Amino acid sequence: MDRDDATGPIVQLRRRLSAGAEQIFDLWTKPDLMVRWLSPFPGAVDCKASCDLRPGGAFSLVMTSADSSREVSGTYVQIDRPRKLVFTWIGPLTNHVTTLVTVELIPIGDQTEIVLTHERLPTPAMHEGHTKGWGHILDHLADAVSNDT
């Protein structure tokens, strides 16, 4: 377990990138840039991205090769350019279970540290039992979703 206390098992990666936070933020949120690095399939894959960049807005990535097609989608929870981006993520990799991705960008000189956290969202059972640590995220999510309707 990478992080303790408030949450269960998560995946967290940190990396220094030689670019500004704003440029990196754009790579995550502009469809024409998203398609250039988010597709995991090598070779001739047609990747289409669309996004509605506001809390509660949806994004999708559709990757099509000669013999298969995969889709990843999600909903933006928090958008704080260029510091933080939080969105849900559902796709084949997550077994089509809703997960949560948080991207934090911390400027360090002319570099930027990216901290990427990927976690499973609590199930209803978890939510009833222990909201600590998850509560504010779920509140955000609830706000985001209700703004949408």
CB of 56 to another protein, least distance (A): 24
CB of 36 to another protein, least distance (A): 5
- With respect to another protein, which residue has the nearer C-beta, 26 or 148? 26
CB of 53 to another protein, least distance (A): 18
- With respect to another protein, which residue has the nearer C-beta, 40 or 107? 40
* Contacts with another protein, residue ranges (CB under 8 A): 1, 4-11, 13, 15, 17-19, 23-24, 27, 32-33, 36-38, 40, 93, 95-97, 114, 116, 118, 120, 122-126, 128-130, 134
- With respect to another protein, which residue has the nearer C-beta, 13 or 142? 13
Sign of the Cα torsion 53, 54, 60, 61 reads: positive
- Amino acid residing at 106: I
- With respect to another protein, which residue has the nearer C-beta, 55 or 122? 122
Long-range Cβ contact pairs of 1-10 (< 8 A, separation 24 or more): 3/117, 5/133, 6/132, 6/133, 6/134, 7/119, 7/133, 7/134, 8/119, 8/120, 9/119, 9/120, 10/117, 10/118, 10/119
| Burial of 88 from C-beta contacts in 10 A (0-12 / 13-18 / 19+) | buried
CB of 45 to another protein, least distance (A): 12
